[in-house]
Amino acid sequence: MTVKYSKDHEWIDISNHEAATVGITLHAQDALGDVVFVDLPEVGKTFTQGEVAGVVESVKAAADVYMPVSGEVVEVNEALRADPSLANSDPMGTGWFFKVHVTDMAQFDALMDEPAYAEFAKNA
């Protein structure tokens, strides 16, 4: 399984072995509504799991984007910065937030798989 989910409603995909891709889940963007601004992390910055790595603002609210695993940010989605609505229209695809070199795969392994996240999101 290459995609896992955090309790903070981020997804992380490790299918690209160079760097894992991180974004917000469909549930998160549904809860936020129309996204109007994203604050992305700085490339080269290292975060620990659970640390705030960015912010997403919508017409309804602002929410922190948390690092689902420890690692170093190696790329940010400039297309998302230019068009924040990508987080709504394609949150699991073109609306990704950043890419990270994972430093602890055990943290990734401990995240929820899709069925577990779907059950978690029902009560969130």
Interacting residues of 1 by C-beta distance below 8 A, sequence separation 6+: 113, 114
In this structure, are residues 70 and 47 in contact, taking their beta carbons and an 8 Å threshold? yes
Count other Cβ atoms within 10 Å, centred on residue 93: 10
**Tokens found for residue 119:** 């059950």
d(CA 96, CA 103): 20
Residue type, 33: G
What is the tens place of the pLDDT at every residue in 35-82?
999 999 999 999 999 999 999 999 999 999 999 999 999 999 999 999
Report pLDDT for 16: 82
Average confidence score pLDDT of the chain: 96
Report all structural domains of the chain as residue ranges with CATH numbers, in order of start.
3-102 (2.40.50.100)
Alpha-carbon Rg for the chain, nearest whole angstrom, is 13
Supply the pLDDT for residue 9. Answer: 97
Considering the entire predicted model, what is its pTM? 0.95
At position 20, the amino acid (one-letter code) is A
Joined tokens for residue 78: 């400039």
Half-sphere exposure of 57 (CA within 13 A, CB side): 6
Task: Give the integer Cα–Cα distance in Å for 68 and 107.
Answer: 8
